[in-house]
Structure 1
Amino acid sequence: MFKKFLTQFFIFLAIVALIWFGLRRLDFKKATRIDQRIEQLEEKLGDVFLNIFKQQHLEIRDPEIHDYIESILEDLFEKNQIERKSIDIYLLKSSTVNAFALPGRNIILLSGLVGFTETPEEFIGVIAHEIAHVESDHVMRKLSREVGIAALFAAISGNYNMELLREVAKMLASNTYSRSLESEADLLAFEYLVNAGYNPQSLADLFHRFSEELDVLP
């Protein structure tokens, strides 16, 4: 009798284990599909927003400028173990002093920023700050909170809702992150700069000039 009970008990445990394992696999597959859809959404949004800004501003493709930027960014990426090819950086012609991150691991630099920065360290500091936003996934976190994932999916389905997408692009260019996200990006950018051998005070000085002369922060 006891033997029979043990046999039935182990069969029951095996069934429960199989059901649990099956449900876990289903949850994993579902989560994986959701993650894949979010990644696809981010890539599409990145392409759309890049096109919007490139229609508004001429992209600067000067090889000398490109090589210079790459040379000063080499240590920033290497010392922080960030794959250089994982982030695309675009320099667009504009008198506006600004830099901002886009979905799809893209960063926009406006040429007005180049003229405003007084040292290479300040310029690198701004890029470090935007890389921090990218690496911390702040862009999609901001969009999901302020626009909504469902609305973003709808905006790029069928005929793109360009009116909404242009408004979202403006919002991204305004760099209005929450205080907590900005603080997180500041701390991470300072860490990036120290790791690469730069004095983070240069970024603090630049932000001070931004607030005093432009009343904005990138």
Structure 2
Amino acid sequence: MSFFVTLKSVQAAPVIQEGSIIRDSEIEAILLEIMHPIFRVAGLDPKLLNLYIVASSEINAAASIDFSIFINTALITKAKNLDEVVGVLAHETGHLSLGHVARFQDSINRSSLIAMASAALGIVAAIAGSPDAAMGAMMAGQQIAMGSLMHYSQGQEASADQAAVRFLDKLGWTAKGLESFMAYLAKQELRSVDRQDAYMRTHPLSSLRVDMLNSAIGQLKTQGKPLPSRLYERFDRMVVKIKAFMNSPMTTLIQHPPSKTTTLDRYARAIAYYRNGDLQRSLMELDPLLDQNPKDPYLHELKGQILFENGKVAEAYAAYQRALSLAPDNPLIRLSAVQAALELPQVDLTKELRELHLVLRKESKNPMAWHLLAVIHGRQGNKGLLALALSEKALTLGNPELALSQAKRALHLAKEKTALVRANDIVRLILSEQKKNG
């Protein structure tokens, strides 16, 4: 994914900047576990899904081109429960399955997807990918009229509601969350626009639409069952995690004082102390959780993150390796492990190269993966593959000029046939786009 800020490297930062695209293995794993079944019953390939989590105080979500779904953190943290989030995600999937997004496909340049979608969500886009994996430089996104992107008609919204109900019914999941979320929005119908939630502004709502939704849910033969209890538990932890990273550490510590010793409270405090630069207190909160849950990959990952950013590279690498052994298919954990490995005094570059290629099979648009690949090729003295990796990184960051120059450099320096073919493809692609755009 091209534009992102990881939920790491925010140590000593009071708040993640509004509009950042967040990457976090735990949060994505939970949301994808929900989204993939919905995609399947909708007749869509889950492998095509591009899920973007946007740091925003606005309650909103949106479906866009390229099978992309954007969900704002506020929708997650302010929802009454997981069922409401599931209902909204099913609704956005309805827009995709019904072809409502197709009309945008020809008019939107793929590289502008996030900037434009972010503008429609009422936020600014963020570009990240600094070499040291620190928080990326924030840039203002492209501003467009809200009505020109992902602003559907009443009829389209109603049909997406009906599709969502069908999807949830097929899965045997309750649709009550969608019903309660729409009821919450319906109360805002008579408010002035500036006092409505962003979701209300980008998803036209009327009392008739709410009545149609309620009727569809009422006509179901079964009212569906709640999701597995473990998902509700993981959702609660996801909410706590997002708040702990987005709110100031002081706010988190006030909300989760030391007198509270639940898993969620300790988790929140571990993050707050980490962001305050207090390694000892952070680990004092996290280690008991690891003792209780030794097979939880995301706790080990968080420990690796805390240790890595406090200069404990060898210990961090060990923690990441433990996390990876528990979640071997998670590319973000694998990427973090590679990043830590490259900071060790001695590193097996051939092994880490293999690890990066495993990451790129699933994260071909991840600029940090391409950056680390460039680092490895640079250390190995392969200038041609170094240039190609930098070209790929520039592509993911929406910088065609840099991508073109590095691809041309790769054509002069690379010896590998596959690299030459790819570099040539990049050059032709960019020149074709430039010609098309005048």
In the alignment, structure 1 residue 167 sits paired with structure 2 residue 144: yes
In the alignment, structure 1 residue 182 sits paired with structure 2 residue 157: yes
1:110 corresponds, among 72, 77, 80, to 72
Contact 1:80 1:195 in 2 (8 A): no
**Which range moves more in the overlay, 59-68 or 121-130?**
59-68
1:202 corresponds, among 177, 189, 197, to 177
Distance in 1, matches of 2:181 and 2:18, equals 26
Distance in 2, matches of 1:63 and 1:172, equals 32
The gaps in structure 1 that reach 5 residues or longer are 1-46, 157-161
Distance in 2, matches of 1:172 and 1:123, equals 25
User: 1:62-104: CA deviations, max 9, x gaps?
Assistant: 2111112122334323444432112211101000100011122
Distance in 1, matches of 2:170 and 2:61, equals 22
- Letter of the structure 2 residue corresponding to residue 134 of structure 1: L
Other-structure match for 2:55 = 93
Contact 2:91 2:164 in 1 (8 A): yes
- Letter of the structure 1 residue corresponding to residue 67 of structure 2: R
CA distance 1:81–1:103, change in 2 (3 Å): closer
Aligned length, in residue pairs = 151
- Higher RCO (CA-CA < 8 Å; seq separation 6+): 1
Aligned 1:1-218 pairs, distance under 5 A: 57-141=19-103, 143=104, 152=107, 166-167=143-144, 170-171=146-147, 175-212=150-187, 214=196, 216=200, 218=203
Structure 1 residue 197: Cα displacement: 1.4
Contact 1:99 1:130 in 2 (8 A): yes
Q: Percent identity?
A: 25
Structure 1 residue 166: Cα displacement: 3.5
Contact 2:51 2:69 in 1 (8 A): yes
Other-structure match for 1:27 = none
Structure 1 residue 211: Cα displacement: 2.6
- Letter of the structure 2 residue corresponding to residue 137 of structure 1: G
Higher relative helix content: 1
Contact 2:42 2:93 in 1 (8 A): no
Distance in 1, matches of 2:63 and 2:36, equals 19
- Letter of the structure 2 residue corresponding to residue 171 of structure 1: G
Structure 1 residue 176: Cα displacement: 3.1
The gaps in structure 2 that reach 5 residues or longer are 4-16, 111-115, 117-141, 189-195, 204-438
Distance in 2, matches of 1:112 and 1:137, equals 27
TM-score by length of 1: 0.59
Partner of 1:95, secondary structure, is: coil
Root-mean-square deviation (Å): 3.1
Partner of 2:63, secondary structure, is: strand
CA distance 1:139–1:75, change in 2 (3 Å): closer
